[in-house]
Amino acid sequence: MTEILPIDQPTNNFWHTTQGPLMMLAPMEDVTDTAFRELILRKSAPGQLHMLFTEFTSTDGLCHPVGREKVSYRLKVSDSERTLLRQKGVKIIAQIWGNKPEKFAEAVRHISESYTFDGIDINMGCPVKNVVAHGSCSALIDQEPLANEIIAASKEATALPLSVKTRLGLKKVDTERWMSFLLKQPLDAIILHGRIQKQMSEGLADWQEIAKAVQLRDQLAPGIKIIGNGDVDSLAEAHEKSGKYGVDGTMIGRGIFKNPWLFQPELKEITLEERLETLNLHLDLFEQCWSDTRHFPILRRFFKIYLSDFQGAADFRHQMMQLNTFEESRQTIEQWTRRLLFHHH
């Protein structure tokens, strides 16, 4: 019996040509802007990181003249980030969300014509209550006809590879129904977070259910990649889960908050100097990129990443959390650096 190849699997498509397991950083609100992505690129070893995603961008916003001004910062890729993406062979994917197929078509066309992205990802997984109440993201898990129209409209509007990031279900685990539906769509990849919407970030991600999705994929659509997501804190764990559950790769989200050097596995010990240098780098990149167009307090959520696991870290962090300018921050870091490194040595 001859194997029938699925139609329409482009051979030059990075989802199918990149050697796996594929490793990627999740799209995260007020986290994965161009400054933080550049930081991660600079701190990643060659070949360890394959894909990055933008913050999620509203299709309604992109289709509205005033809205477009408001949301387009989410799609910004700085020149320095672009250079690193090229040097390191890392792909950058624009993630979009909404609930109107015609807006998806328009937004995807706009992104394809006005930006340089390697792919488009549709968010069908964000669990935030007001977004779900709006009928978007996770809400689409229980609206197959609408999800179908959104995917079809997006596919028609671009030649770029198309993926969907989603969850196991809305109020209950619904892997079999929902995956069987998605696997019949013209997608290149499905990124599956091992929780349902109702759980938000609570409880443990269920990788057994992700493995079930892989089995369904093997039967229904061998050409579609399945990427697992949920509770992965290291590259070693990402590779282990890829092997154990049969996924084509792993997406890491909150794990990056425990360790932004995660894609540099040979770095066994993070020194105090390295932490402070990386914090300064993050401030520099954020300021170069946004100057005063984004609120400084956005940076506070990152301070814990760098200012932990050394003596005096809590006091240092507490002081940093009160600050509102780059200038004050640099002075505070300098004072603490002198104090800490003097004691340290």
Q: What is the DSSP letter of 36?
A: H
Cα–Cα distance, 333 to 329 (Å, whole number): 6
Question: What stretches of 170-211 adopt beta strand conformation (E)?
Answer: 189-196
pLDDT value for 20:
86
pLDDT value for 9:
45
Q: Which of 63, 126, 137, 289 is catalytic?
A: 126
pLDDT value for 1:
46
Which region among 186-190, 235-239, 269-273 has the lowest average model confidence (pLDDT)?
A: 269-273
pLDDT value for 132:
95
User: Domain spans of the chain?
Assistant: 14-258, 272-344
**pLDDT tier, 107 (very low <50, low <70, confident <90, very high otherwise):** very high
What is the distance of C-alpha 166 from the center of its chain?
A: 12
Question: Across the chain, what does the average pLDDT equal?
Answer: 94
Q: Is 289 a catalytic residue?
A: no
Phi then psi for residue 120, to 5 deg, are -120, 135
Token readout for 310 is 């050394």
The fold of the 14-258 domain, in CATH, is TIM Barrel (3.20.20)
Residue 2 has pLDDT above 60, yes or no: no
Residues in Cβ contact with 247 at an 8 Å cutoff, skipping those fewer than 6 apart: 21, 210, 211, 214, 226, 227, 228, 241
Residue 231 φ/ψ region, left for φ over 0, alpha for ψ in the -120 to 50 degree band, beta for the rest: left
- Asked if 193 and 166 count as a contact pair (C-beta separation under 8 A), the reply is yes
For the chain, report the end-to-end CA distance as a whole number of angstroms.
71
| pTM (two decimals) | 0.94
Residue pLDDT, tens place only, 42-88: 999 999 999 999 999 999 999 998 999 999 999 999 999 999 999 99
